[in-house]
């Protein structure tokens, strides 16, 4: 557990433990000890009140992020490769999956920087390195959130209106372009220091937007980015998935009533079989959304506590763990598809036999793809 010196303002002063009366020796250093005066703005006074962690913390995070980097690059590159080159998977709906994988890869660009920073025990590249690191995190984080909302919208349209509700390629491309526009304002503004700024956090080896400066501009910025990148996408996602579940319940009730009138056990058509595949894909999308929620809710909570709550709760380790959760999701996403997505599993079975995947063939995939192809041509 890292101790905190509440008397520290601009540098390491005398430290006395609240309960034990412990005074650190001269060999013990506070966070920011290796940051020269010309770069002191990178370290908020809040972090200077904590004793610098042992080297094992930095080495531990470096090892974890190295493993996550490999998982992310292998998994997401595999998703982009297969979804882009496999004809049955080149559909409008799967364009969102490729876009999400791209955002995940952008997040992985942070990881080599963090590994190097961990061994240096400071942010590599100082202000420039901090800005680059934070830009990658801003683009990928907000991109993941709004892309999950787009996937929820697509699943709702595809399953609720399977005949005339599917998005075509042009519509999907417009929505994807919108997701990239969505990440722009709260990436460019702090980068140019027009509103907000990027700064170090936690162990001072990672960077994000400033949520600790005590002024009105920072508080409004934190609240705005919280609503923009978390609340609004989450609202869309909850709405579309709730409408999707309602549509499924209505469809199943209609089938039961119709079967009862016709005095048959069930009414299952080829369209319903295709619908079951789409439902399975929807479950994959919902799983990824749930993981996104678990990953980014702690980070959003940390930011809100920093701006409006009790900052004594924010220790270097407690702020590093939510960032670790967020990056873990970008590595898990592609493997969720490998486990659950039926058509993706079929392609993996053909191209990567060493994985030992056995996915039964579906006879209606070609019809489904042909339907989307016709819709795209008509558009």
As given in the structure block, the two tokens for residue 215 are 């002024």
Mean pLDDT of the chain: 79
Is pLDDT at 279 greater than 90 in this prediction? no
Q: What is the model's pLDDT at position 270? A: 47
Q: What is the model's pLDDT at position 228? A: 94
Comparing CA positions, the residue from 245, 265, 246 lying closest to residue 255 is 265
Q: What is the model's pLDDT at position 146? A: 92
Query: Rounded to whole angstroms, how far apart are CA atoms 48 and 8?
Result: 7
Beta bridge partners of 36: none
CA angle 318, 307, 38 (to 5 degrees): 80
CA angle 73, 76, 82 (to 5 degrees): 125
Q: What is the model's pLDDT at position 112? A: 93
Beta bridge partners of 209: 198
- H or E segment to which residue 340 belongs: helix 316-340
Please tell me the pTM assigned to this model: 0.79
Q: What is the mean pLDDT of residues 321-341?
A: 76
Is pLDDT at 136 greater than 90 in this prediction? yes
Higher pLDDT, 342 or 184: 184
Query: Rounded to whole angstroms, how far apart are CA atoms 80 and 148?
Result: 17
Interaxial angle between packed helices 270-308 and 342-351, expressed in degrees from 0 to 180 and rounded to the nearest 10: 100
Task: Please check whether residue 105 is in contact with residue 112, taking contact to mean a CB–CB distance below 8 angstroms.
Answer: no
Is pLDDT at 345 greater than 80 in this prediction? no
Q: What is the model's pLDDT at position 362? A: 56
Displacement of CA 334 from its chain's centroid (Å) = 12
Q: pLDDT by residue (tens digit) across 7-64?
A: 444 444 433 344 444 444 444 688 888 889 888 888 989 888 888 888 899 999 999 9
Q: 57-66, 282-291, 328-337: which has the highest mean pLDDT?
A: 57-66
């Amino acid at each position: 557990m890292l101790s905190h010196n509440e008397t520290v303002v601009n540098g390491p002063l005398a430290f006395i433990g609240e309960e034990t009366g412990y005074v650190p020796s001269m060999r013990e250093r506070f966070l920011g000890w290796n940051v020269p005066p010309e770069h002191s703005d990178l370290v908020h006074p809040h972090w200077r009140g904590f004793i610098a962690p042992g080297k094992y913390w930095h080495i531990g995070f470096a090892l974890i992020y190295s493993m996550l980097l490999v998982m992310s690059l292998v998994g997401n590159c595999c998703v982009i490769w297969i979804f882009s080159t496999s004809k049955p998977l080149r559909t409008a709906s799967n364009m969102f999956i490729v876009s999400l994988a791209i955002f995940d890869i952008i997040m992985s660009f942070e990881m080599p920087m963090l590994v190097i920073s961990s061994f240096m025990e400071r942010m590599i590249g100082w202000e420039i390195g901090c800005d680059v690191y934070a830009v990658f995190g801003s683009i990928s984080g907000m991109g993941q959130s709004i892309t999950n909302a787009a996937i929820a919208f697509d699943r709702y349209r595809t399953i609720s209106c399977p005949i005339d509700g599917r998005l075509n390629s042009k519509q999907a491309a417009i929505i994807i372009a919108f997701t990239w526009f969505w990440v722009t304002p709260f990436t460019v503004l702090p980068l140019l220091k027009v509103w907000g700024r990027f700064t170090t956090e936690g162990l001072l080896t990672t960077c994000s937007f400033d949520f600790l400066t005590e002024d009105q501009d920072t508080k409004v910025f934190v609240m705005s980015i919280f609503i923009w990148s978390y609340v609004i996408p989450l609202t869309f996602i909850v709405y579309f998935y709730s409408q999707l579940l309602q549509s499924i319940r209505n469809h199943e009730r209609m089938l039961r009533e119709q079967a009862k009138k016709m005095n048959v056990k069930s009414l299952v058509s080829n369209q319903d079989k295709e619908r079951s595949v789409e439902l399975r894909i929807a479950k994959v999308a919902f799983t990824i959304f749930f993981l996104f929620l678990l990953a980014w809710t702690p980070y959003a909570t940390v930011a809100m506590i920093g701006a409006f709550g009790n900052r004594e709760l924010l220790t270097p380790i407690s702020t590093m763990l939510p960032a670790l959760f967020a990056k873990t999701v970008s590595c898990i996403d592609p493997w969720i598809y490998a486990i659950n997505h039926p058509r993706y599993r079929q392609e993996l079975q053909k191209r990567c036999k060493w994985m030992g995947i056995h996915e039964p063939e579906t006879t209606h995939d070609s019809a489904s793809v042909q339907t989307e192809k016709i819709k795209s041509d008509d558009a």
